[in-house]
Structure 1
Amino acid sequence: MSLEALRPSPLVEQAAQRLRDQITGGDWPVGTKLPGETTLAKTLGVGRSTVREAVRALAGAGLVQPRQGSGVFVIATEPTEDWPTRLRSAAVADVYEVRMMVEVQAARLAADRRTDADVASLRAALENRRTAWSGGDNAAFLDADIALHATVVDAAHNPVLTDLFAEFVPALRKGLADLVALLDVREHEVAHGDAGHAELVEAVIGGDGEAASRVLQAELEETLRELSAR
């Protein structure tokens, strides 16, 4: 298998996949030292920073290991299942249970830590959700709904919580998209969940952590019941 120059697109992902193919295909056995960044960048037709990120992705998958002063070495020919992959393959109800634990605590913290900038962002996110619902586009509505929840998490000012919620988003969006289509919420509801989301926003803005967590818990439990009943 020979390396070829890459086409423009998400270059890091392409570079990581090309290098992964070399490893899993047996061209670079365990113990092999990868070519240097400059060589790989020239061969793949990308910048050294792209190669660096691609190698970091391979390290995260358990395929390679950088050794200071020695280079990057192949340590496995089959990737370990990383966190995003695990989430994509998990049942959406299982993901939702974990989301609930993370986000309810984040809402409690957000009520204590929100800033004036967070207050403005929360109000804007709630209005965007309403606008998206009125627009009739389910995909845009789901994006706006998730964005509002992400804004609540951001207001907790805990970067680990923010990153963890971001990891959940692709799996959550897919499950929620299926649920919206299945339930045909537009036929049965005037403004899907608006009152609860408005109550959540006001609780966070008002600094009432107990109310914020209670409202969010109730909303997420209801959605989880609907997901589990599918």
Structure 2
Amino acid sequence: MPLATTRRTGLVDQVIEQMRTAIATAEWKVGERIPTEPELVSALGVGRNTVREAVRALAHAGLLEVRQGDGTFVRATSEFSGALRRLVGSELREVLQVRRTLEVEGARLAATNRTDDELRDLTTLLTDRERLMQARDYEVGVDKDAEFHLAVVRCSHNTLLAELYQGLTEVVRASVAATVRETPHKANIDHRGLLEAITHRDPDRAAAEAAGFLDELLAELDRSEDL
């Protein structure tokens, strides 16, 4: 990622902005390690202290995670997303509960408000997701699953709901990955019922389908904790 050489005024703020842009545009992807400090110093034409201050600020905002001895990694794509990740925490149960709250209403509204073009996009996403999960390509399949759920919420045409859910993209993906890791037989959980409900503009069924698989995951989590 070629970074523009900074001007000599407001160096820390300029470096923060360039690094934030690299994250937001997926030049640096979530989960990946960013360039080393010497590499950033060379690319930006600034001192080590400036780079360290910028990294410290972005880590405080939740976008970066500094792992001693291992490097600095992208944790979230925006301050909003980083804040939500801290709020929700890493507990799978809490993430699933928050997902349920947003996805049920998103599905209900999607069944009423979706367009034909959006329906075609949903169908393609779900087909790709199923193919990847069946092939046990879980890493890419998890990404496609998260894209599908985000697309459903966007079909609600409720801007605020979609923005809230967008901010949860990383934790949604993490929850899907955790589910696949802890209960691999759930990797290809069936979402065709949800797609059919949205296709037939049935908001009650769409809400029930969205709640159903998340309730099932929560119940399985309860059972595993009781063992």
Tell me if TM exceeds 0.5.
yes
* 1:128 partner amino acid: D
Query: 2: distance between equivalents of 1:87 and 1:137?
Result: 30
Give the percent of matched residue pairs that are identical in Structure 1 and Structure 2.
32
Aligned to 1:135: 135
Aligned to 1:222: 216
1:192 corresponds to 2:200: no
Query: 2: distance between equivalents of 1:225 and 1:129?
Result: 24
What's the offset of the Cα at 1:168?
A: 1.8
1:122 corresponds to 2:122: yes
What's the offset of the Cα at 1:172?
A: 2.6
Matches within 5 A, 1:37-186: 83-87=83-87, 89-185=89-185
Distance 1:87 1:170, change over 3 A: farther
* 1:12 partner amino acid: R
Aligned to 1:209: 203
114-123 or 171-180, which moves further after superposition?
A: 171-180
Query: 2: distance between equivalents of 1:220 and 1:132?
Result: 21
What's the offset of the Cα at 1:9?
A: 11
Query: 1: distance between equivalents of 2:88 and 2:21?
Result: 17
Larger Rg: 1
* 1:218 partner amino acid: G
How many matched pairs?
A: 164
* 2:140 partner amino acid: A
Which runs of 5 or more residues in structure 2 are unaligned?
1-10, 23-43, 47-53, 62-81
* 1:163 partner amino acid: E
Q: RMSD in angstroms over aligned alpha carbons? A: 3.5
What's the offset of the Cα at 1:203?
A: 0.4
Query: 2: distance between equivalents of 1:8 and 1:97?
Result: 33
Classify the secondary structure of the residue corresponding to 2:168. Answer: helix
What's the offset of the Cα at 1:90?
A: 4.6
Query: 2: distance between equivalents of 1:13 and 1:84?
Result: 19
Runs ≥4 in structure 1, deviation > 4 angstroms? 3-10
Aligned to 2:19: 11
* 1:11 partner amino acid: M
Which runs of 5 or more residues in structure 1 are unaligned?
15-43, 47-53, 62-81
* Residues 54-100 of structure 1 deviation map (CA, whole Å, 9 limit, x = unaligned): 9xx98x96xxxxxxxxxxxxxxxxxxxx6334246352211221221
Verify the 8 A CA contact 1:87 1:95 in the aligned structure 2.
Answer: no
- TM normalised by structure 2 equals 0.61
What's the offset of the Cα at 1:110?
A: 0.6
Distance 1:215 1:11, change over 3 A: same
Classify the secondary structure of the residue corresponding to 1:99. Answer: helix
* 2:89 partner amino acid: S
* 1:212 partner amino acid: A
Query: 2: distance between equivalents of 1:218 and 1:5?
Result: 46
Classify the secondary structure of the residue corresponding to 2:161. Answer: helix
